[in-house]
Structure 1
Amino acid sequence: MPTLPWITPNPPPRAAADVHVFASRFETRTLWGALRFLVRTPGVWRQVSRAPGAYGATLKARPFRRTYWTLSAWESPQALKAFARSGAHGPTADGLAAQMRDAKFVTWTTSVDSLPVDWDEALKRLE
């Protein structure tokens, strides 16, 4: 699966706004777990495309390597938390937790002028 292009569900309200960036890396224990992750991705992707406070998102998937990366930008940490606990994401995350071998998360703040966030920057922060 190729990298999904950056989508912009909600344009930021002003040029000088701060943006809260979230990046993650997931590695599943088995190929079966990776395929379960892949099957559940479309529902979460639809959710983020309509999420209040979401300024952008993208996803890298390497299911045969059992690894997935997410990168998103949010209006606030509260908007990110609301997304993570609702819709398809909440049950998907809970349902896949036992499949995870490793997960890493990083957050940082940047300016709206930095959108879309560069994958190289996110991958460096996830190392």
Structure 2
Amino acid sequence: MPDIPWSTPTPAAPDAEVYVMASRFETATLTGAVRFFLKAPGIIRQIRKAPGAHGVALRARVPRRTFLTLSAWEDRDALYRFARSEPHRSSSRAASTYMKESAFTYWTGPASELPLTWAEAERRLAEQETPR
């Protein structure tokens, strides 16, 4: 399945710090993966219009039932406002019925490093999941 490549809704000032979130979702069934994938474009469109959004991308591996998201925000509050707004709020609640696992990691970094890479997101997610 095709990925949704990085897009920049509102460019950050080059000297700004951005708040970054990477997530990994695994659905319990292939039907759940298809549902997740079909909802993804609407959520990406929502992010592209969200105040404080500086970047977003999705890596979809539907046959493996796995999805990665990567987004950059003006600050944590901008991310949380988005997460509590529709359609994300109700979509995430509905998705919880068919999710097997999910993982999230957050960090801040210079806007000059945007766009972010999948390698960085995967490294940080792996660190988050590794017992210390």
Same fold (TM over 0.5): yes
CA distance in 1, matches of 2:103, 2:116: 18
1:117 Cα deviation from its structure 2 partner: 0.7
1:43 Cα deviation from its structure 2 partner: 1.2
SS in structure 1 opposite 2:85?
Answer: coil
TM-score (norm 1): 0.96
Instruction: Report the counterpart of residue 17 of structure 1 in structure 2.
Output: 16
Q: Which runs of 5+ in 1 are unaligned?
A: none
Instruction: Report the counterpart of residue 118 of structure 1 in structure 2.
Output: 117
CA distance in 2, matches of 1:82, 1:126: 23
1:42 Cα deviation from its structure 2 partner: 1.6
Deviations 1:47-67 (A, max 9, x none): 011110000000000111000
Instruction: Report the counterpart of residue 79 of structure 2 in structure 1.
Output: 80
Amino acid paired to 1:82: R
Instruction: Report the counterpart of residue 103 of structure 1 in structure 2.
Output: 102
CA distance in 1, matches of 2:120, 2:39: 26
SS in structure 1 opposite 2:121?
Answer: helix
Instruction: Report the counterpart of residue 3 of structure 1 in structure 2.
Output: 3
Q: 1:21-100 maps to which residues of 2 (within 5 A)?
A: 21-100=20-99
CA distance in 1, matches of 2:40, 2:4: 11
Deviations 1:56-82 (A, max 9, x none): 000000111000000000000000000
Give me the CA root mean square deviation. Answer: 0.7
- TM superposition outliers: structure 1 runs of 4+ over 3 Å: none
Amino acid paired to 2:117: D
TM-score (norm 2): 0.93
Deviations 1:99-122 (A, max 9, x none): 110000000000011000111010
Amino acid paired to 1:10: T
1:41 Cα deviation from its structure 2 partner: 1.0
1:4 Cα deviation from its structure 2 partner: 1.2
Q: Report how many aligned residue pairs link the two structures.
A: 126
Percent of aligned positions with the same letter in both sequences?
48
